[in-house]
Chains A and B, each alone.
Chain A
């Protein structure tokens, strides 16, 4: 189930909230666990077993790590087991076919591709459970003794399928002792509405443009202007899709009494690629920094080691996004820019005016989206070539596209800045008090309209 579906919004969520708040506090983790398992099982009835296995293994490993707290060798051994288990789980379901296909290119190797459907959210929950045993080992959090609470952490439906990646230590306290207040509920609901509108009204609207541009690239009619419009469309789509989803997750978490960390911080305002990655999908970058980059030695081992570590981390970051070469290329593309900024561009950038730095960053990031969006490297190359002069500059169809999407682009650009938030803060409290429910209802009603329209499927005898 996804948050932006009619079934989730108008069946699962109201019933879930009702049950959760009907039962007394001490039962709420259990209710949340059962509800989350239902949520997961809805789309993946068979894969619910993976959830059970994952809970069981990481739960026991957490306890074992704590038990051998004073026997570091053994504790490390159990941390290692848990990490290996999670990576194997991820590796098998997500990467097997990719590895098999590529290794089979070597002479004498012939590995079968299994075509197993990818369990939803596996990239997220394996990372979360991995963080658990590591946090316990580092004494950042005590081991969880209750398997129900631990299960509620692993399966927690608000962040189960698309993040943010919630580290165990962030919610450890709330799992054991949380309070549910009306204010948390209201703020959570407000945040959810913002996220829903971002996903359904903004991301989906501009996504249609990207699809159209990609199709015209494949048909060979893409112009340079059309290519850039497409990249801009995709960049906005992925930002509003993903950050909208994170907003919904954070809002739902808040309703249930959890505080997740922020996942996006106006990334398109960044004035360097380095800054962009501090503001984009923060839960993932901080996960890699904390559990990979720093354990590898970070930047403390001299230039050569730092370079190696950056390359490893960005190879993994790219590969994490998908089992395909373009994602690896995308990760390394950013590694290259980050290294360049660190060692070469630093001086130039500090002297440049803000708007140049901003333009440079957006250019790098949006070209990056091109690599990210097109798994077929041949298509990707053709598309980017068109953007950089390998096609006519402009056509009448671009004029139509631009005119149709001008208002949408303007809204998206403004929504990517802090302008809206600053205007909101500038408003007197009384006005805000009146506008909040109005905006919430508007977001809900318009999103419903777009979702219903998406399921609207007139059978047109039309074709006759």
Chain B
């Protein structure tokens, strides 16, 4: 090796390592990552005690990784490399012909049993009608699309167990399976699309003996053609065409009240500012909140429904508002008062516990149903 060539290789090596270090130092620290939807670790405070117990160096490593330059691009490069060697699973997400489908891991059976028992306890606690709606995820409805033999937990196991509970079920599995050929789930996000939510709403109305909605009554508005959802983030697969997000229900005549901070504030059916951000699904009702009430003056029969729900209901609720005077949405992650009491106080006759199956089998807040 000539001296000049040795120097060249050495310089290359040092420039790569040192260059990224300098870049890291010069790059202003970010507070949060929109792609990962979380706050990033910040420069830790030094203390001798933190050094001695090892927490300081650990925090530095976390800070260094979180603030690393081009984080999202590196992840994308990794996904590309994995694809090149024939992988179809990317951090727990399957890539199936332009569609990302999240793998469902086998749940903790004791937790599932407990969660089902909490639903039964709610039934005992309240005089209202209680319905259970479990929404299968794309891994179930679109299982034909998964790579051959790719493992994902059989979600019908939960549906079978739920059928034993002795309360009316919303047949969401049937409703979605009947339209499996249509874009009922996003390709880059784990939620159902507005179309999927429409079929879900009709399944619910049917279970409650209400008149179904007709597709002709809606003129879909394209809210965004540039939606890269959670699966885009989780997988690192950044090369798919972004999803299109639609709003079907018009918000005229609807009044939305949100309890985000403990007191009622005016909300809106569509929080359009989210459409400019990464987290576009939060445009529906403005994302996570403890309690939300949608009132429709046009429905004059005074009917009220309470959904104990996850985020799938954000896009479903607009449809239900077409058939009920009041739709109450309650999120047990943030709302900690008894559900039965809420129904009584608000004169609500129908409660629907409505969860996507991956959430139902892992959620640890359902215990509040039993209060």
Contacts and interface: CB of A to CB of B under 8 A. Distances in A.
- Which of B62, B78, B236, B359 has the largest count of A CB atoms less than 10 A from its CB? B78
B86 A444 contact: no
Interface stretch (B32-40, B199-207, B257-265): B32-40
A219 B91 CA distance: 21
A411 B12 contact: no
Contact of A404 (B5, B36, B87): B87
B151 to A, nearest CB: 5
Given A189-B9, A396-B149, A464-B288, A13 B1 contact: no
Contacts of B3: 182-183
Contacts of B38: 457-459
A190 B151 CA distance: 40
A55 B11 CA distance: 35
Contacts of B147: 400, 403-404
Interface string A415-456: 000000000000000000100110011001110111011011
A6 B64 contact: yes
B272 interface: no
A395 B102 CA distance: 22
Contacts, number: 176
Contact of B359 (A440, A450, A453, A464): A464
B71 A452 contact: yes
Contacts of B7: 182, 186
Contacts of A18: 18
Contacts of B310: 464
B290 to A, nearest CB: 13
Nearest to A448: B74
Interface in B313-371: 331, 333, 358-359, 362-363
B121 to A, nearest CB: 22
Q: How large is the interface on A (under 10, 10 to 19, 20 to 34, 35 or more residues)?
A: 35 or more
B18 A14 contact: yes
Question: Binding site of A, secondary structure by majority: helix, strand, loop or mixed?
Answer: helix
A189 B234 contact: no
The range of chain B's interface size is 35 or more
B60 A7 contact: yes
Contact of B37 (A182, A398, A461): A461
A458 B10 contact: no
B321 to A, nearest CB: 21
Interface string B136-152: 00000000000111110
A259 to B, nearest CB: 16
A394 to B, nearest CB: 11
B62 to A, nearest CB: 8
B89 A404 contact: yes
Contacts of A9: 17
Task: Give chain B's interface secondary structure class.
Answer: helix
B115 to A, nearest CB: 14
Interface in A181-196: 181-183, 185-187, 189-190, 192-193
Nearest to B102: A462
Interface in B278-303: 288
A247 B300 CA distance: 77
Given A13-B17, A452-B71, A400 B35 contact: no
B27 interface: no
A441 B15 CA distance: 10
B1 A461 contact: no
B42 interface: no
B157 to A, nearest CB: 15
A185 B6 contact: yes
Contact of B230 (A6, A400, A441, A458): A458
A186 B35 contact: no
B191 to A, nearest CB: 10
A455 B149 contact: no
Contact of A459 (B12, B36, B62, B88): B36
A399 B146 CA distance: 13
8 contacts: A10-B24, A182-B3, A400-B150, A437-B8, A437-B9, A449-B81, A452-B75, A453-B79
Interface of A: 5-7, 9-11, 13-15, 17-18, 42-46, 181-183, 185-187, 189-190, 192-193, 219, 395-401, 403-404, 406-408, 411, 433, 436-437, 440-441, 444-446, 448-450, 452-453, 455-464
Instruction: List the 5 closest pairs (A to B, CB-CB), nearest first.
Output: A400-B149, A459-B38, A455-B65, A452-B74, A189-B13
Interface of B: 1, 3, 5-10, 12-14, 16-18, 20-21, 24, 35-38, 51-52, 54, 57, 60-62, 64-66, 68, 71, 74-75, 77-79, 81, 85-89, 91, 102, 106, 147-151, 190, 230, 233-234, 236, 288, 310-311, 331, 333, 358-359, 362-363
